[in-house]
Structures are given as structure tokens and as C-alpha cells.
Amino acid sequence: MSETEPRLAFEDNEYLPAVAQDADSGEVLMLAYVTPEALERTRETGRAHYYSRSRDELWEKGATSGHTQHVEEIRVDCDGDALLYLIDQEGGACHTGYHSCFYRTIDGDVVSEKVFDPDDVYE
């Protein structure tokens, strides 16, 4: 069933949170932010782009590490103020080497798999 394109709440928010979820396993991999431009670039290229609030710039996930995210589908929440990227992750999502950035419980137990050594990837 196809409906009208959901409205995105960019007029009230400079950027919106985007959750990246592994399209196959369902594991939630990371949360980052998007501007309209980052989202547009994601849709154009099929690779996840985000906006860094601290560096104040658009970035492509994996541009440095090679750990690109191929976007299979983009979903929008009811209020249009959050996005969900269903993705196919090259390597690992986390700069620490884990498959998911959510690799720890709040008590500090490690629950995600280490998939690369960050020393081999970032210099």
C-alpha cells in the first residue's frame, strides 16, 4: 500500500536522529543525526550519510574506514522526527571494532561481536 510521502520535521529541528539497523539480523548498530542534505545524499547514493554535530559537517559512514552502510530501506516515524535506516554493514559499525555501537549493557557487559581491530583501520 502506497500513501503520501511522510512529512519530515526539519522545519522544527536542524537535524533528526537516524537509527541504523542491520537489515538481516535486526541488530541496532548505531544512532547518528541527519540534515536534509545528508538524507538526500543517502537517497541518491544508497550509502548512509550523516551529519556530525560536533564537527559541523556532512559525513559518509565508512569514507575513512571502508565500513560503508548500504541502505536497503529508509523508514520514518509517526511524528516525522526520527528515521530508521535498514542497512547492510561492511565491516563493523563501531569505531571501537564492534559490529554494533551498542556493544555494552548499562551494567558494562559486552554483548556485541568484535569484528575488526581499530588499529588496523584508523591511523
Kindly tell me which of 3 and 123 has the beta carbon lying closer to a second copy.
3
And the C-alpha cell for 82? 526520527
φ, ψ dihedrals at 116, nearest 5°: -155, 165
115 counts as binding a second copy under rule CB under 8 A:
no
The answer to whether 88 is annotated as binding is: no
Q: If binding is defined by CB under 8 A, does position 58 make contact with a second copy?
A: no
> H or E element: which one contains 43?
helix 36-45
Q: Name which of residues 73 to 112 contact a second copy (CB under 8 A).
A: 73-79, 82-84, 94-96, 98, 101-111
| Paired residues of 87 in beta bridges | 22, 71
Q: How far is the CB of 108 from a second copy (least distance, A)?
A: 4
- 23 forms part of the interface with a second copy (CB under 8 A): no
Nearest in space to 85 (alpha carbons), one of 69, 96, 101, 100: 69
Q: Does 11 bind a second copy (CB under 8 A)?
A: no
Tell me which of 9, 28, 115, 121 binds a second copy, using CB under 8 A: 28
Instruction: Check residue 123 for interaction with a second copy (CB under 8 A).
Output: no
Instruction: Give the H/E segment covering residue 118.
Output: helix 118-121
Our finding on whether 46 is near a second copy (CB under 8 A) is no
Residues 2 and 13 sit within 8 Å (Cβ to Cβ): no
